[in-house]
Amino acid sequence: MSDKTSEHTSNKQASEAVNQSSQALSSSATYTAIQEMLLMQKVLNDMTNGDQWRTGVTQLGKVIDWRRCIVMESAELIDSYPWKHWKSVDAVIDIENARVE
């Protein structure tokens, strides 16, 4: 098999795998939960910054660093779990905060 044929077959298989994964996700409760979460975030963004947030700028003209927002929210979610081996070793998961984050 030539390199070009092999590459085409590999790309086709990868494409089929992605398609199957997308179909599985779209039919699952996970997909619905993600859609609901994104809608809730949109409503919050609209309430706090109007429609402008979509341009990457707050209503006060401050640039929104989306990557930093995602990283920081993820860190806050992680902190809902007692992952620190040196602190609060017997702590329980703060499930309510995890849901908020």
pLDDT digits over 22-65, tens only?
A: 666 666 778 888 889 889 989 998 998 888 888 999 888 999 99
- Is a pLDDT exceeding 70 seen at residue 2? no
Distance CA 97, CA 65 (A): 23
The residue-averaged pLDDT of 68-94 equals 86
Q: Please, what sign has the CA dihedral across residues 83, 88, 90, 92?
A: negative
Q: Please state the pTM of the whole predicted model.
A: 0.55
Q: Is the separation of the CB atoms in 84 and 63 below 8 Å?
A: no
- Is a pLDDT exceeding 80 seen at residue 12? no
Distance CA 18, CA 16 (A): 5
Between the CA of residue 88 and those of 5, 49, 55, 92, what are the distances in Å?
A: 57, 37, 41, 9
Q: Which range is most confident: 47-51, 65-69, 86-90?
A: 65-69
Distance CA 52, CA 57 (A): 6
Q: Where are the alpha helices (DSSP H) in the chain?
A: 3-26, 29-49, 66-78, 95-100
